[in-house]
Amino acid sequence: MASVLPYARRLHQLLTPDYYSTPFQKHVGTAHYIFAGLLFSTLAIFCLVLFRMSAHSHVLTPVQRNRVYTACGIVILASMAAILILVKVFKVMYLLGGIGTIFCFETTSLLAFGVAWLIKGQTLLKDP
């Protein structure tokens, strides 16, 4: 599922030109946000549940790594919440400096997952 969702998320770019939106394209845009939400939810589940398990058994890994995995999962969930609140409730499409709200928080989510991935692969915080 995690390998398919990024492709489904990008499908809207192929079908939606920049200069107008048909009803179909609006539905594709809605599907984009649904797939993006599913993708980031899956990444949060990886951090909060799957990465905390050892490869050899279903016991938890060392405490220091678990704290980082939990923090990364929380950052992903908080970024998703920030997008919903800022864009849907307050209609804030751009942050200071002209940075897109969605772009900023999607990037934050991906960076958080990247840190968790590097730790799980033992590039960072290796076993002794």
Tell whether 126 is covered by a domain: no
Tell whether 87 is covered by a domain: yes
Tell whether 55 is covered by a domain: yes
Tell whether 125 is covered by a domain: no
Can you give the pLDDT at residue 55?
64
Tell whether 127 is covered by a domain: no
Can you give the pLDDT at residue 22?
78
Single pTM value for the model: 0.81
Can you give the pLDDT at residue 72?
98
Using DSSP's 3-state secondary structure scheme, residue 100 falls into strand
Domain that holds residue 74: 5-120
> C-alpha distances in angstroms, 9 versus 30, 48, 53, 89, 122?
10, 22, 28, 22, 29
Residues 84-127 pLDDT 10s? 999 999 999 999 999 999 999 999 999 999 999 999 998 988 77
In the chain, how many domains are there? 1
Using DSSP's 3-state secondary structure scheme, residue 17 falls into coil
Tell whether 128 is covered by a domain: no
